[in-house]
């Protein structure tokens, strides 16, 4: 994939600039509706809109499309801002709300009425639906369509003044009931709804429809390119009709461009379904590390730079397709491989006593924090009692098992070669401890340092290791294609908690959000549930990269 190549949106922009359009420069916007938390699909839109502004030395506005007050809330307004900042973008002083424009929007509607391009309709919602026609049959004109301009102005004013019941009247654009495009069949532009708005309170009892508010908000802000997802393609004729009807200058008025939504295998990007997961407690909250919300990805430990990199690499498509989630994980792993310091942690500990060391033996081994970097060294204590990963020992081991077995030898990562002399069991026959001896000259720099040993295993020093809770995450859904009853596809093993993992002491005072590579076990991040006494780690991703395999097969 050529990262330098321009996407089709950039081609449109270049063409517009060449034709002398938008002399004031490129202005984009990210327009979330504050009715839920943002997810990975929104991250794509954020990177695209803010990214284009950066590439063209323009600006990108943050605009809350808050025209549907019944589902909206300040909690969402706040989380959306946090998420965008965390992703690394800045709207500076350009935070807007469609609700700031309610008065202006009202006046635009009045102007349409005066141009005989809008009318107040008394048909019920059901009648309007019946009159609309179908994809194959034209619609029928409303009997109220030919009201005089004066009557329409009067009725619309009285709608605003609260004279009519909710749903009893609407304002509609007057376009063409026979249009092949159903969106052009006299679409509703205002409705009566006595709903408290989280910003304007009870000031309004009529609210503009999205299709009316959006193009006008773009125009009010001087947006040049209004980038949205493909489902709005059929709405573009109305977007254009509205701005042309209100005499916005074609040289500077915004232009709508659609691109394909980002969908990922096995990832829910429906706000409704995400809300259901939270409200029915299938996850621990909007920021549960299994959630594809930006808050969830953050808590999971996905670096924002990896998400930006992913959005850049997948490019911008004109038709819908699904991206393999392994590609996102690949970007995360690539980033962490370069940035996450290495430590040793044993998830399922088995005690080992190194019998030829004295009781109070403690030496500090010096190891790189991050290989091939300038991060310097850390000191890892080495003692007579250590813990190894239980699965690194096997009593009746097959020939190909190169880790520890009775009588066998392995190298402890960064330390000595040890030999297993004795296996200690409890009364149930369960292995509880190993007695081993070290080869004292096998440490780096020692006489037998280069002695060939097939297996290398993890370890931590028993008295200094830190006990930590480790949360291992797997995909939330078991299938790549999300079934309609998606709850049935929830993976019962999507979260496995290890209560007492043992981690080397260098991690002791790590701040929340710090990520590490636990050698052999994957990448982990310090969760906000951590306390001074007890660290909690989330597994970000495992070490193995299935995407690399997919890529190299191609």
Nearest-approach distance from CB 466 to ligand ATP, in angstroms: 40
Given the rule CB under 6 A, which of 38-46, 89-97, 118-126, 420-428 is the region that contacts ligand ATP?
A: 38-46
- Site for ligand ATP contains 255 (CB under 6 A): no
Nearest-approach distance from CB 39 to ligand ATP, in angstroms: 7
Given the rule CB under 6 A, which of 3-11, 39-47, 101-109, 364-372 is the region that contacts ligand ATP?
A: 39-47
- Site for ligand ATP contains 226 (CB under 6 A): no
With 0-12 CB in 10 A as exposed, 13-18 as middle and 19+ as buried, what is 129? exposed
Residue whose CB is less far from ligand ATP, 154 or 263? 263
Given the rule CB under 6 A, which of 35-43, 194-202, 339-347, 383-391 is the region that contacts ligand ATP?
A: 35-43
263 counts as catalytic: no
How many Å separate Cα 244 from the centre of its chain? 37
Angle between helices 40-55 and 304-314 (to 10 degrees): 80
Residue with tokens 């009593």: 395
Kindly tell me which residue out of 9, 228, 311, 346 binds ligand ATP, with binding defined by CB under 6 A.
228
- Site for ligand ATP contains 87 (CB under 6 A): no
Kindly tell me which residue out of 35, 224, 515, 517 binds ligand ATP, with binding defined by CB under 6 A.
35
Quick count: other Cβ atoms within 10 Å of Cβ 531?
Answer: 7
Nearest-approach distance from CB 268 to ligand ATP, in angstroms: 10
Residue whose CB is less far from ligand ATP, 41 or 381? 41
CA atoms of 59 and 440, how far apart (whole Å): 64
User: DSSP letter string over 315-327?
Assistant: ---SS-EEE-HHH
Given the rule CB under 6 A, which of 37-45, 131-139, 274-282, 499-507 is the region that contacts ligand ATP?
A: 37-45
Residue whose CB is less far from ligand ATP, 263 or 433? 263
Given the rule CB under 6 A, which of 33-41, 190-198, 313-321, 500-508 is the region that contacts ligand ATP?
A: 33-41
CA atoms of 314 and 325, how far apart (whole Å): 11
From the candidates 29, 185, 253, 271, which is the catalytic residue? 271
- Site for ligand ATP contains 229 (CB under 6 A): yes
380 and 344 Cβ atoms separated by less than 8 Å: yes
Nearest-approach distance from CB 265 to ligand ATP, in angstroms: 13
Q: In the chain, helix, strand, coil percent, each to 5?
A: 30, 25, 45
- Site for ligand ATP contains 79 (CB under 6 A): no
308 and 87 Cβ atoms separated by less than 8 Å: yes
Residue with tokens 């709207």: 91
- Site for ligand ATP contains 491 (CB under 6 A): no
With 0-12 CB in 10 A as exposed, 13-18 as middle and 19+ as buried, what is 431? middle
From the candidates 33, 263, 312, 469, which is the catalytic residue? 33
- Site for ligand ATP contains 308 (CB under 6 A): no
Nearest-approach distance from CB 143 to ligand ATP, in angstroms: 33
With 0-12 CB in 10 A as exposed, 13-18 as middle and 19+ as buried, what is 78? exposed
Which of 177, 166, 62 lies closest to 119 in space, CA to CA?
177
Tokens of 514: 């710090």
CA atoms of 5 and 286, how far apart (whole Å): 36
Residue whose CB is less far from ligand ATP, 274 or 344? 274
Kindly tell me which residue out of 13, 22, 31, 308 binds ligand ATP, with binding defined by CB under 6 A.
31
547 and 324 Cβ atoms separated by less than 8 Å: yes
Quick count: other Cβ atoms within 10 Å of Cβ 127?
Answer: 14
Residue whose CB is less far from ligand ATP, 33 or 324? 33
- Site for ligand ATP contains 262 (CB under 6 A): yes
Nearest-approach distance from CB 261 to ligand ATP, in angstroms: 4
Q: Residues with Cβ < 8 Å from 76, sequence gap 6 or more?
A: 34, 35, 36, 37
385 and 353 Cβ atoms separated by less than 8 Å: yes
Question: What are phi and psi for residue 136, nearest 5 degrees?
Answer: -105, -20
Give the binding-site size for ligand ATP (rule: CB under 6 A): 14
Residue whose CB is less far from ligand ATP, 54 or 229? 229
- Site for ligand ATP contains 41 (CB under 6 A): yes
The length of the chain, given as a count of residues: 554
CA atoms of 416 and 471, how far apart (whole Å): 30
Chain residue whose CB lies nearest ligand ATP: 41
Kindly tell me which residue out of 253, 271, 384, 411 binds ligand ATP, with binding defined by CB under 6 A.
271
Binding mask 45-74 for ligand ATP (x = CB under 6 A): x-----------------------------
33 counts as catalytic: yes
CA atoms of 206 and 20, how far apart (whole Å): 39
Given the rule CB under 6 A, which of 26-34, 93-101, 133-141, 505-513 is the region that contacts ligand ATP?
A: 26-34
- Site for ligand ATP contains 414 (CB under 6 A): no
348 sits in which H/E element: none
160-189 CB burial, b ≥16 within 10 A, e <16: beeebeeeebbbbbbbebebeeebbbbbbb
Given the rule CB under 6 A, which of 32-40, 299-307, 405-413, 490-498 is the region that contacts ligand ATP?
A: 32-40
- Site for ligand ATP contains 221 (CB under 6 A): no
Given the rule CB under 6 A, which of 42-50, 103-111, 450-458, 461-469 is the region that contacts ligand ATP?
A: 42-50
- Site for ligand ATP contains 217 (CB under 6 A): no
Angle between helices 325-339 and 546-553 (to 10 degrees): 120
- Site for ligand ATP contains 33 (CB under 6 A): yes
Strands (E), 430-494: 431-439, 456-457, 460-461, 466-473
Nearest-approach distance from CB 77 to ligand ATP, in angstroms: 11
Nearest-approach distance from CB 45 to ligand ATP, in angstroms: 4
Residue with tokens 């773009």: 218
Residues noted as catalytic: 33, 261, 271
Binding site for ligand ATP (CB under 6 A): 31-33, 35, 41-42, 44-45, 228-229, 261-262, 269, 271
């Amino acid at each position: 994939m050529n990262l330098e190549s321009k996407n089709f949106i950039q081609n449109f922009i270049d063409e517009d600039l060449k034709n002398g359009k938008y002399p004031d420069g490129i202005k984009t916007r990210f327009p979330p509706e504050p009715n839920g938390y943002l997810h990975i699909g929104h991250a794509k839109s954020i990177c695209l809109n803010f990214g284009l502004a950066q590439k063209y030395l323009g600006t990108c506005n943050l605009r809350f499309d808050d025209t549907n007050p019944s589902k909206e809330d300040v909690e969402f307004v706040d989380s959306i801002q946090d998420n965008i900042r965390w992703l690394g973008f800045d709207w500076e002083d350009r935070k807007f709300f469609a609700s700031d424009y309610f008065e202006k929007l009202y006046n635009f509607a009045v102007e349409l009425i005066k141009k005989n391009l809008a009318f107040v309709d008394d048909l019920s919602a059901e009648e309007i639906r019946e009159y609309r026609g179908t994809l194959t049959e034209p619609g029928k004109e409303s009997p109220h369509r030919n009201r005089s301009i004066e009557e329409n102005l009067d009725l619309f004013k009285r709608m605003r003044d609260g004279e009519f019941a909710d749903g009893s009247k609407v304002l509609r654009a007057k376009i063409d009931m026979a249009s092949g495009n159903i969106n052009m069949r006299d679409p509703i532009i205002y409705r009566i709804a006595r709903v408290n708005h989280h910003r304007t309170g009870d000031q309004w009892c009529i609210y503009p429809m999205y299709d009316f508010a959006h193009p006008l908000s773009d125009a009010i802000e001087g947006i040049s390119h209004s980038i949205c997802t493909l489902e709005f393609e059929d709405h573009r004729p109305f977007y254009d009709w509205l701005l042309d009807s209100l005499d916005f200058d074609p040289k500077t008025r915004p232009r709508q461009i659609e691109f394909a939504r980002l969908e990922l295998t096995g990832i829910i990007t429906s706000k409704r379904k995400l809300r259901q997961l939270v409200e029915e407690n299938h996850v621990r909250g909007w920021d549960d590390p299994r959630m594809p919300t930006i808050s969830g990805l953050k808590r999971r430990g996905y670096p924002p730079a990896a998400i930006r990199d992913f959005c850049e690499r997948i490019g911008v498509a004109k038709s819908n397709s699904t991206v393999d989630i392994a590609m996102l994980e690949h970007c995360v792993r690539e980033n962490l491989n370069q940035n996450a310091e290495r430590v040793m942690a044993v998830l399922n500990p088995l005690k080992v006593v190194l019998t030829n060391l004295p009781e109070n033996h403690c030496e500090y081994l010096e190891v790189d924090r991050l290989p091939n970097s300038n991060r310097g060294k850390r000191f890892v204590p080495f003692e007579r009692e250590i813990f190894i990963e239980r699965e690194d020992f096997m009593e009746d081991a097959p020939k190909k098992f190169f880790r520890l077995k009775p009588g066998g030898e392995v190298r402890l990562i960064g330390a000595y070669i040890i030999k297993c002399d004795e296996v200690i069991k409890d009364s149930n026959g369960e292995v509880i401890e190993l007695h081993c001896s070290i080869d004292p000259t096998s440490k780096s720099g020692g006489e037998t340092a280069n002695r060939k040993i097939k297996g290398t295993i993890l370890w931590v020093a028993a008295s200094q290791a830190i006990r930590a809770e480790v949360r291992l995450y797997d995909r939330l859904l078991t299938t790549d294609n999300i079934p309609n009853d998606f709850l049935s596809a929830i993976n019962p093993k999507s979260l496995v908690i290890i209560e007492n993992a043992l981690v080397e002491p260098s991690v002791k005072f790590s701040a929340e959000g710090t990520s590490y590579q636990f050698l052999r076990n994957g990448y982990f991040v310090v969760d906000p549930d951590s306390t001074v006494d007890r660290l909690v780690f989330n597994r970000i991703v495992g070490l193995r990269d299935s995407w690399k395999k997919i890529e190299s097969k191609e």
